[in-house]
Every structure is written in C-alpha cells, then in structure tokens.
Structure 1
Amino acid sequence: MKALLALGIGGLLLAGCAAHPTQPESDQEYRVEWVGPRPLVGHSHVSMTFDGEGRAFGNAGCNHWFANYQMEGDKLTFSQPGSTRRMCAPAVMEQEQRFLALLGSVQRWDITEKGELRLWPETGRAIRMWPVD
C-alpha cells in the first residue's frame, strides 16, 4: 500500500505517492528477480510473502516453500526452509536449490530508493525482489 504525500508550495498543493515502504509489508507478495548473482531462469516464478507473524512462504520456481523468520530492525533470519517435492527442469531445480540455500544465510534486509527489497546473505549478492501489484 502506497502512502499519499501532500506538499504545499506557494499556495499550491502538490500530491503524489511516497516512493516505497520503509519495511517489508505483511501479506504483500514479492516477485524475486535475482537470486544472488544471477537473474531468474526463463519464465520461472519465484516469490515471497511475509505473513507478519513470523512465517514466510512462496514459490521457489518449481515447488512451494515455507519458513519461519525473525525480523528486528534491519536484521532478518529464516529457519531452514521446507518445500513441496515436485521435479522440474534441471536449470529450474538448480535455481530453486540456490534460492533456498541463500534464504538460510540471510542476515539483513534493505529497500532501495526505487522500492526494491533486497535480502542480504552472510556473503555474496542479495536476493532482489519487487512488490507485486
């Protein structure tokens, strides 16, 4: 949900939407676009939703995944993720395993000025995602 921003200048009222939320929103689906150093494979779909009560879930590309999370300030950790057990194309399965492994090493999060949510593992590049409208 975007906040409405109003500003009065010289008797004029200017209105617009705030750039982005200051923290990940509960019950907002985020579409993952990069898993570490690589963009997603083809038309695969990787997503994440935080329920606001310590559970996260989504699609890992082939299977549905779920995990507990703890968030304090910019610190974020996930429990070992679980998932369903369907088989897909080898490239999608490799990407899924990389995504689930990275989740287990996430230590913090941030949101860019453009609204991109990034989850940072202990080392390496972030999982990068955008809110789904």
Structure 2
Amino acid sequence: MTTTKAALAAGLISAALLAGCSNLESTEPAVAASEQGIPQRGVMILQCGGSPVRVTLTGEQALIEAMQGRFLLERVVTASGARYEAPDDSSTSFWNKGDKGLLTIRGESLPECEPAGALVLQAGEWVVEDINRGGIIDRSRVTLNFGNDGRVSGRASCNNYVGAYQVDGRTLQLSQLATTRRACAPALNEQETRFVQTLEQISRFSLDETGALILEGDEGGSLKARLE
C-alpha cells in the first residue's frame, strides 16, 4: 500500500507522517475507522519513539494505524487508564493514559507514545477553506505551509506571508508574521486582513473526523484547512 496525503485527509496516516516509509506494506486491510463501524469519538496522532501512529478511540475499541499495519483492538479491564488488546493476539495492545500511551505490536514494545503535533502540521500544504466560520471568497487561495525549520509561510489571499511557529502537543503559537505589500482588490484585502489577524491569535490545533486541520484561538477565531 502506498500512503498519500489524500489518505490522511480521508482519515488515514499520510506519507508525510510516515516520512521515509512510502510503499508501506500492511497485513491488515486498508479500512478507515468509519468503515469498520467505529464512531470517531477521539483521534490522536502520536509519535512512539521514531514511529508515527494514528489512534482512533471509542469507549470499547481502538483502531491503531502504524508502520507495522492496522490493528482493531478491543478494550479490556485494567486498574487505570484504558487498555486495548487484539482479540486474537494479546501481544498486540495499546494502553491509553490521557494524550499519551504505550503500544506493543506482536510482542514488540514501542517507546512511550506522545502527541506528534509538528508531524501533523508538516504533512504538506494546507489549503484554507474557512476563516472564522464564514467560508472564503470563491476562487481565492489561502494556504499554510509549516516547515520543519519552525517557519510558516503561504498565501494570505493576495499577498504572500512568512512567520515563525512553535508546537507543544496540540498547542500552537505563531509570531513574527509579515506579508508582502502587493495591491489587492478590496474584497481580497479584507479577507487577507481577517486571515492574518486570526492566524496571529491561534493557540491550538486539531484534526476533525474528516482529516481537516482546525486552528483555534482563545478569542474565538478559527481556521479550517485541508491538505491539497
């Protein structure tokens, strides 16, 4: 199976998250959580050592998507946290505690899993489809590119912009934003101003059940974008 950016947008791990692991072979069928009848109550992108892992949790099941394959686990009784095991192989398990976890696949224990925030943002170019829940102008283009050097850049509507960003779990801070100064049509100029002002206020991010990137600020501003 070849992983792609479109796969992440559909709810699977993207090739960018599995850097260096294209043409990944899986012993499990490539089926998304929704197709397996699992309500999407919680999705986490984790990094277990050097391995990115997508975990879709419900009250009784966990869908694990990793470089080693895809595994549908069932919840078992445990003293603390939430533990899940493969029904036919107890050597494959995931123990969830808050936004962290312990993953064992076929008897091999991976390092403790922690939120892999930067990997999600760096998956590729995100095309903005909504600013503050008001959509965007038809045929206009607003983009986000999070580089692995801590720089963010893209198109703000008419002008290009650059800035810096920092990630800590699902917390996101942007700073030093600057744009070029090309003349814009009034409508594009207004949209560009709203986008930049909203971007400056962003404090956290997440992926929704469709794979869209949601950026939110404490003052109520929000951006929604998808991988192109």
Give me the whole-angstrom Cα distance separating, in 1, the residues matched to 2:137 and 2:155: 14
Percent identity of paired positions between Structure 1 and Structure 2: 33
Give me the whole-angstrom Cα distance separating, in 2, the residues matched to 1:21 and 1:43: 32
RMSD of aligned Cα (Å): 2.3
Q: What's the offset of the Cα at 1:27?
A: 5.8
Give me the whole-angstrom Cα distance separating, in 2, the residues matched to 1:98 and 1:29: 20
What per-residue deviation string (whole Å, max 9, x for no partner) do you get for residues 39-63 of structure 1? 1112110000000221000000100
State the match for 2:159 in structure 1: 63
What per-residue deviation string (whole Å, max 9, x for no partner) do you get for residues 6-50 of structure 1? 43xxxxxx2346899834242610000001121111211000000
1:15 maps to amino acid: A
State the match for 2:40 in structure 1: none
1:100 maps to amino acid: V
Q: Secondary structure at the match of 2:190?
A: helix
Given that 2:163 and 2:174 are in contact with CA atoms closer than 8 Å, whether structure 1 keeps it comes out as yes
Give me the whole-angstrom Cα distance separating, in 1, the residues matched to 2:44 and 2:160: 26
Q: Secondary structure at the match of 1:114?
A: coil
Q: What's the offset of the Cα at 1:121?
A: 1.2
What is the aligned counterpart of 2:224 among 116, 128, 132? 128
Structure 2 segments unaligned to the other structure (5+ residues): 5-13, 16-23, 35-42, 46-116
Could you tell me the TM-score, scaled by structure 2's length?
0.51
Given that 2:201 and 2:221 are in contact with CA atoms closer than 8 Å, whether structure 1 keeps it comes out as no
Structure 1 segments unaligned to the other structure (5+ residues): 8-13
Could you tell me the TM-score, scaled by structure 1's length?
0.84
Q: Which has the higher contact order (CA 8 A, sep 6+)?
A: 1
Q: What's the offset of the Cα at 1:80?
A: 3.4
Q: Secondary structure at the match of 1:79?
A: strand
1:75 paired with 2:171, answer yes
State the match for 1:15 in structure 2: 30
User: What is the aligned residue count?
Assistant: 126
1:115 maps to amino acid: G
